């Protein structure tokens, strides 16, 4: 194998999963198959199987893997030790997709598993992954021997092709939750201590639901927070687990939070899934959570689509979608497993003991204007409503806010306690402590410091997944920072931190007004009374802050539903601000930030149907990320560009982008 081919294969493997990596793997495999070298073909084919398997295109992996098996049968000498290991390792990836697609017949699946076992035995490999694959087929196809297959798997000898310990636990926790064995799910899930690309996130989502259903809502809440904290945001990795997360929140009495998470974190999960069966498993969790809240059927969901606009409408849509997916799967399996699970989801209710209410700060925090010195009637009472819920509240020693000799703690002691709690990742407790400190600082006349403390409280509340509190606290911070004349870079940073929270809440008006007011102060930089060197440096910082404000404003407008946008904040304004931000970032040499701004411009143009303009902007983003050596962002932007070029009939240009990768 030539050094050049080795470099190209390695370059493909370094790319993040998605359209760009898949297109590059396809192109390289085609070229090697046509032009050689032949000894590189096993690696190229197996890399393509991996690209398909981890990019929602598992159905395509069957053909490529079959090609790799034929090559193994015809020319085993082409496979080095690494190729052989990858071939047998990827067997279980392909096997795990067998129950996912109804077009794969039961006879075909069973024949594949039999062939898998035969090949492992011939090669002298252990059979642990074969047993695991048989269990997955029995489980997801609703076969009567699923528990028997699980026991055969976990009691058999482990070998080098076995899944990691974390996945061994995670799969079983999922199985126990699916089969309503929640006590076993809790017992096993609490032993999860290992990690991999899927774990412990998958276990934590499922375990949170099991804890709720077993009667421990406080532990369920804590586990769900840990799941979200470890979730990398990939829309394809955890469909069933996120379905469990939605069900847990909604059945635990927090349907608004469940809907907000769905709307912001994985809205595409409604329309599509990595496979029909995975999509169905997500919808089952959604359906159960919605069914438990049909007494609030008119509650708006925050989606613009009419069929998703209320809890009741979304429930009807989810039921129809689930039934359409379930019918062919059950027909293939020869069981009614999926139909029974739909019926179970439809009968779901809220639990008797709900999840603890988010308790970081008062719900109305920040609605009053800042007080000049002592907090008057308009100032928010943030500490009083924050007494419930922190495990760290009984600590002694470092971080305690007790005054020497007892009595009322000092403001500085409260701030120190807040910092201590934040360092320990007790973000709920830190939010309460920062909010308490903010009130004290305002009462003592430190308006700027109070604004900063409110912002710190907001950030901690956001990390504690209390979006309502974070939104209110950021809204409280900004007027105090402005009234105190706090440094502009502080205000810009707080606005940037507030932007994603306002978008999640679907309440952008206050943020948009604050961004607009801040941006209005950036007319032209005046450095006439400064030395040339100082003026140039300060001008660069000034342009950078203005570009950050433009970028935050553009993103906030783009993220807002049309009905929630105040007058004057429309897509045209978003395009203008994003374009200007990109140009200003480029002007001061912040090429990566410029690329992000042009990437946003491309997305907005694409959503508006302006294909030519979208392509230009995405090409600019691709070039910018190339210069900035931002590998993952470059690949993601390239993937969107390739998809748009192909959709508009520009296949040759798409191929050129693939070649550049």
Q: What is the CA radius of gyration of the chain?
A: 28
Residues near 328 by beta carbon (within 8 Å), at least 6 away in sequence: 102, 276
Which three-class secondary structure state does DSSP give residue 319? Answer: helix
Which three-class secondary structure state does DSSP give residue 310? Answer: strand
Q: Which two tokens stand for residue 212?
A: 């709720």
**Residue that is written with structure tokens 């050049």 in the block:** 4
Q: Which two tokens stand for residue 332?
A: 């293939």
**What are the boundaries of each domain within the chain?**
1-94, 107-162, 181-232, 234-351, 360-483
Question: Which of these, 340, 273, 337, 345, lies nearest to 139 by C-alpha position?
Answer: 337
Asked if 162 contacts 132 with a C-beta cutoff of 8 angstroms, the reply is yes
- The rounded average pLDDT for each run of 10 residues, N- to C-terminus, in the chain (661 residues) is 90 94 96 94 96 89 96 96 96 94 96 97 96 97 96 94 92 96 97 91 96 97 93 74 96 96 90 92 97 97 94 98 97 96 98 84 47 36 35 37 64 95 93 95 95 97 93 95 94 96 94 95 86 90 96 96 91 96 96 97 96 96 96 95 96 94 88
Helix (H) or strand (E) holding 233: none
Question: Which of these, 604, 636, 629, 597, lies nearest to 235 by C-alpha position?
Answer: 636
Asked if 584 contacts 606 with a C-beta cutoff of 8 angstroms, the reply is no
**How big is the CA angle at 226 (ends 275 and 58), to the nearest 5 degrees?**
15
What CA–CA distance (Å, rounded) separates 182 from 169?
14
**How big is the CA angle at 202 (ends 217 and 286), to the nearest 5 degrees?**
65
Which three-class secondary structure state does DSSP give residue 300? Answer: strand
Please, what sign has the CA dihedral across residues 188, 190, 193, 198? positive
Which three-class secondary structure state does DSSP give residue 650? Answer: coil
What CA–CA distance (Å, rounded) separates 466 from 224?
13
Question: Which of these, 245, 249, 258, lies nearest to 355 by C-alpha position?
Answer: 249
What CA–CA distance (Å, rounded) separates 333 from 335?
5
Please report the DSSP string for 139-163 in residue order.
HHTT-TTHHHHHHHHHHSPP-TTSP
Q: Which two tokens stand for residue 235?
A: 């829309």
User: What per-residue confidence (pLDDT) applies to 532?
Assistant: 87
User: What per-residue confidence (pLDDT) applies to 266?
Assistant: 86
Which three-class secondary structure state does DSSP give residue 388? Answer: coil
Q: What's the DSSP call for residue 566?
A: P
Q: Taking the mean position of all CA atoms in its chain, how far away is CA 319?
A: 25
What CA–CA distance (Å, rounded) separates 417 from 401?
6
User: What per-residue confidence (pLDDT) applies to 527?
Assistant: 81
Q: Which two tokens stand for residue 454?
A: 């409110």
Residue 404 class from Cβ within 10 Å (0-12 exposed, 13-18 middle, 19+ buried)?
exposed
User: What per-residue confidence (pLDDT) applies to 626?
Assistant: 96
Asked if 325 contacts 283 with a C-beta cutoff of 8 angstroms, the reply is yes
**How big is the CA angle at 12 (ends 7 and 13), to the nearest 5 degrees?**
95
Q: Which two tokens stand for residue 7?
A: 């470099």
Q: Taking the mean position of all CA atoms in its chain, how far away is CA 651?
A: 31
Q: What is the pTM (predicted TM-score) of this model?
A: 0.87
**How big is the CA angle at 213 (ends 211 and 219), to the nearest 5 degrees?**
25
């Amino acid at each position: 194998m030539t050094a050049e081919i080795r470099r190209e294969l390695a370059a493909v493997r370094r790319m993040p999963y998605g359209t760009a990596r898949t297109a590059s793997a396809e192109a390289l495999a085609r070229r090697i198959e046509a032009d050689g070298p032949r000894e590189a073909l096993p690696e190229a084919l197996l890399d393509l199987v991996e690209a398909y398997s981890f990019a929602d295109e598992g159905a395509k992996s069957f053909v490529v893997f079959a090609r790799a098996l034929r090559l193994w049968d015809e020319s085993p000498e082409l496979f080095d030790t690494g190729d052989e290991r990858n071939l047998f390792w990827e067997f279980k990836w392909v096997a795990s997709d067998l129950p996912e697609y109804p077009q794969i017949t039961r006879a075909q699946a069973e024949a594949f598993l039999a062939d898998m076992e035969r090949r492992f035995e011939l090669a002298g490999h252990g059979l642990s992954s074969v047993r695991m694959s048989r269990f997955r087929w029995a489980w997801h196809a609703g076969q009567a021997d699923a528990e028997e297959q699980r026991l055969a798997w976990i009691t058999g000898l482990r070998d080098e092709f076995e899944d990691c310990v974390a996945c061994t636990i995670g799969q079983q926790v999922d199985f126990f939750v699916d089969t309503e064995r929640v006590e076993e799910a809790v017992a096993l899930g609490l032993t999860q201590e290992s990690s991999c690309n899927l774990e412990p996130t998958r276990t934590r989502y499922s375990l949170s639901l099991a804890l709720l259903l077993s009667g421990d809502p406080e532990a369920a809440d804590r586990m769900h927070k840990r799941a979200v904290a470890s979730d990398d945001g990939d829309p394809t990795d955890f469909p069933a687990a996120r379905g469990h997360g939605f069900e847990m929140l909604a059945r635990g009495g927090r349907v608004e939070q469940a809907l907000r998470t769905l709307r912001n974190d994985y809205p595409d999960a409604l329309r599509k899934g990595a496979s029909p069966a995975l999509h169905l498993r997500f919808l089952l969790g959604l359906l159960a959570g919605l069914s438990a809240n049909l007494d609030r059927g008119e509650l708006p969901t925050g989606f613009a689509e009419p069929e998703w606009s209320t809890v009741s409408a979304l429930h009807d849509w989810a039921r129809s979608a689930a039934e359409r997916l379930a019918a062919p799967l059950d027909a293939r399996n020869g069981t009614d497993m999926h139909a029974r699970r739909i019926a179970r989801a439809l009968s779901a209710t809220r639990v008797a003991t709900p999840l603890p209410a988010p308790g970081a700060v008062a719900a109305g925090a920040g609605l009053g204007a800042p007080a000049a010195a002592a907090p008057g009637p308009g100032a928010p009472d943030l500490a009083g409503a924050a007494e419930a819920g922190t495990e760290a509240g009984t600590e002694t020693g470092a971080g305690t806010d007790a005054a020497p000799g007892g009595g009322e703690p000092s403001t500085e002691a409260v701030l120190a306690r807040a910092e201590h709690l934040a360092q320990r990742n007790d973000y709920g407790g830190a939010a309460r402590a920062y909010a308490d400190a903010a009130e004290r600082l305002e009462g003592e006349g430190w308006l700027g410091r109070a604004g900063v403390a409110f912002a710190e409280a907001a950030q901690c509340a956001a990390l504690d997944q209390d979006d309502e509190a974070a939104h209110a606290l950021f809204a409280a911070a900004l007027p105090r920072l402005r009234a105190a004349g706090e440094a502009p870079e502080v205000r810009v940073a707080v606005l940037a931190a507030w932007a994603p929270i306002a978008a999640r809440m679907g309440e952008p008006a206050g943020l948009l007004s604050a961004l607009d007011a801040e941006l209005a102060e950036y007319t032209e930089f005046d450095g006439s009374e400064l030395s040339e060197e100082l003026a140039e440096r300060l001008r660069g910082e000034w342009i950078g802050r203005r570009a950050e404000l433009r970028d935050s404003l553009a993103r906030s407008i783009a993220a807002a539903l049309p009905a929630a946008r105040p007058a004057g904040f429309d897509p045209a304004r978003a395009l203008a601000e994003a374009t200007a931000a990109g140009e200003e970032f480029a002007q001061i040499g912040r090429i990566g930030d410029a690329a992000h701004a042009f990437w946003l411009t491309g997305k907005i143009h694409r959503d508006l149907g302006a294909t030519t303009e979208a392509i230009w902007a995405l090409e600019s983003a691709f070039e910018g990320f190339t210069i900035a050596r931002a590998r993952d962002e470059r690949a993601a932007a390239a993937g969107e560009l390739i998809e748009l070029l192909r959709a508009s009939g520009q296949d040759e240009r798409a191929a050129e982008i693939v070649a550049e990768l």
